[in-house]
């Protein structure tokens, strides 16, 4: 089966979700899901919503999701040592060194993400998830590529796992021949999907399938496989990320946040249109002239400010609608709908700050978890886990990070959810533990029962700080202790020299006095 036939076969299951996505986009951000699936170089005429609450809600919610999933200043994952698979001969010192190495790997991955355009594409994908409920991301060597819902189809098994993906794009034939010289266009009499297209454009399909625990994909043009497009990837490092916002059991595609509040958005759209048009009509002012008056309407219309014309003021009147009071009910309803939508899309409680703190990230995560329920669980499984696995796989192949040990010793853990313990939380927990010990047993108990070297290493790992040439090793500490003891002994010896000299002097004086007394006793005659 060709890629085009697979795309047409799976398009029927997508049609209902695509129609709902277009309705949601028309009320929020119309450019996300366009009516025309074909590529166009010019701008299409898109509908303009009468209200901006929907657009503001989508952008705000996508930004908060971006802040919670990929924090700008903290790592969204951590590498942990699996104690079950850890060999017994590895002592605690080796484990501490592994934690420090893992922290360095985490910094490398986060620096790679910061230097790329991943966050831009992910933020755009999150807007598609909020509006359309679906998005597809391809992680290539050059960066991330986003496919909207009208550009791909997907098939899943009974457990909801993706087994087939087909994308559709429109590219230039010149570009196609440049990278694929072996491509032969069909004959003019041969039926083709591109017969109705422009002569310089063609449709290209990318077919992705799961085969024997690995992902295989290739590209087709006019039912011809492009030889240079054949690729594969392991099961745990799939570059094709099929994302959903809300998952309904039995459905292949997801449903967006906008669809859940489509009724309020439609009502707000209708009321906003009525208010705008009614306000424009109410603001219109018309001057009337008495038919029997000598004042001509043209003279009145052409008169400038401060002009002098002939006429009677009583012959000129002003007509106004004066129905402003009738809009109060509509205004109140618009306010109610806007309030409900602001709460639904988390527009409220937006803090203006130049720098995002770790506490703000956790508060945002808590707010999202309370409002959206298990959204983090779905996005963790379908986005963060495969995204992290692909990043680690590519970084190991390119040599950016060392090869991680096999055998399940290293376990990557996502720390983007509210229930996860990130490294910042580990640091706070360690500080609270030491504070409780100091308050309960006493400050001297920390030095007596706690290994301070291990505390310093864990604090450095939790903060993501490279301790190379920063924290002294055990050998350096022992050497400095020996030097300090030697210096102390030397100083004590120097301090004791005057005392010893005084003692020696007194001893000599005592000996001299004893000798003198003995001589005097010998010289006295016996009685």
Model confidence pLDDT, tens digit, residues 41-79: 556 678 889 999 999 999 999 998 888 888 877 788 888
CA 328 → CA 306, 321, 325, 358, distances in Å? Answer: 37, 15, 6, 44
Q: Of the ranges 117-121, 265-269, 314-318, 428-432, which one carries the lowest mean pLDDT score?
A: 428-432
350, pLDDT greater than 50: no
Binned at pLDDT 50, 70 and 90, residue 299 comes out as confident
465, pLDDT greater than 80: no
421, pLDDT greater than 50: no
| Res 365: pLDDT | 64
Of 65, 54, 76, the residue nearest 424 (C-alpha) = 76
Stronger pLDDT, 175 or 245, i.e. the higher one: 245
Span 438-458, average pLDDT: 77
Span 159-180, average pLDDT: 87
| Res 359: pLDDT | 63
| Res 56: pLDDT | 94
- Enter the pTM of the model: 0.76
DSSP secondary-structure letter at 315? G
419, pLDDT greater than 50: no
**Average pLDDT value for the chain:** 81
Q: How far apart are CA 379 and CA 133, in angstroms?
A: 12
Span 345-371, average pLDDT: 65
Residue-wise pLDDT tens digits, 181-199: 766 776 655 555 554 455 6
Span 417-438, average pLDDT: 67
Helix (H) or strand (E) holding 522, with range, is: helix 474-523
Stronger pLDDT, 94 or 346, i.e. the higher one: 346
| Res 191: pLDDT | 54
């Amino acid at each position: 089966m060709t890629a085009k036939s697979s795309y047409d076969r799976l398009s029927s299951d997508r049609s209902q979700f695509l129609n709902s996505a277009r309705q949601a986009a028309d009320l929020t951000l119309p450019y996300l899901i366009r009516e025309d699936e074909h590529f166009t170089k010019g701008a299409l005429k898109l509908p303009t919503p009468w209200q901006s609450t929907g657009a503001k809600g989508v952008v705000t919610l996508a930004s908060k999701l971006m802040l919670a999933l990929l924090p700008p200043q903290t790592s969204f994952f951590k590498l942990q040592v699996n104690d079950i698979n850890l060999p017994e001969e590895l002592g605690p010192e080796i484990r501490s060194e592994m934690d420090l190495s893992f922290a360095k790997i985490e910094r490398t991955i986060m620096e790679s993400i910061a230097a790329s355009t991943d966050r831009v594409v992910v933020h755009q994908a999150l807007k598609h998830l909020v509006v359309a409920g679906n998005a597809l991301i391809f992680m290539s060597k050059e960066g991330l590529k986003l496919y909207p819902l009208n550009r791909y189809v997907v098939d899943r098994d009974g457990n909801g796992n993706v087994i087939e993906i087909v994308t559709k794009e429109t590219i230039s034939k010149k570009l196609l021949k440049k990278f694929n010289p072996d491509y032969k266009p069909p004959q003019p009499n041969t039926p083709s999907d591109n017969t109705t297209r422009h002569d310089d454009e063609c449709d290209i399909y990318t077919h992705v399938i799961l085969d024997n625990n690995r992902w295989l994909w290739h590209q087709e043009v006019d039912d011809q496989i492009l030889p240079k497009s054949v690729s594969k990837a392991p099961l745990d490092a799939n570059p094709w990320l099929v994302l959903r916002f809300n998952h309904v059991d039995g459905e292949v595609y997801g449903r967006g946040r906008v669809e859940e509040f489509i009724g309020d958005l439609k009502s707000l759209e209708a009321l906003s249109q009525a208010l705008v048009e009614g306000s424009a009509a109410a603001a219109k002012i018309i001057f009337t002239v008495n038919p029997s008056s000598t004042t001509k309407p043209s003279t009145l219309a052409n008169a400038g400010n401060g002009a002098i014309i002939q006429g009677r003021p009583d012959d000129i009147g002003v007509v106004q609608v004066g129905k402003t009071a009738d809009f109060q009910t509509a205004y109140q309803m618009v306010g109610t709908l806007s309030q409900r939508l602001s709460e639904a899309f988390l527009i409220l409680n937006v803090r203006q700050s130049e720098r995002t703190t770790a506490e703000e990230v956790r508060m945002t995560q808590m707010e999202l978890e309370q409002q959206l329920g298990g959204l983090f669980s779905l996005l963790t499984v379908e986005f963060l886990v495969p995204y992290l696995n692909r990043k680690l796989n590519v970084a190991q192949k390119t040599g950016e990070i060392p090869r991680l040990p096999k055998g399940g010793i290293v376990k990557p853990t996502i720390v983007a959810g509210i229930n996860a313990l990130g490294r910042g939380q580990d640091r706070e927990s360690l500080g609270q533990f030491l504070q409780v010990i100091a308050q309960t047993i006493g400050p001297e108990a920390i030095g007596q029962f706690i290994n301070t070297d291990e505390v310093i290493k864990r604090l450095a790992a939790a903060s993501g700080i490279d301790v190379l040439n920063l924290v002294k090793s055990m050998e350096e500490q022992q050497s400095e202790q020996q030097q300090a003891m030697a210096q102390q002994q030397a100083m004590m010896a120097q301090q004791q020299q005057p005392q010893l000299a005084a003692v020696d002097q007194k001893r000599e004086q005592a000996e001299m006095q004893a000798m003198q007394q003995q001589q005097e006793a010998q010289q006295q005659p016996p009685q």
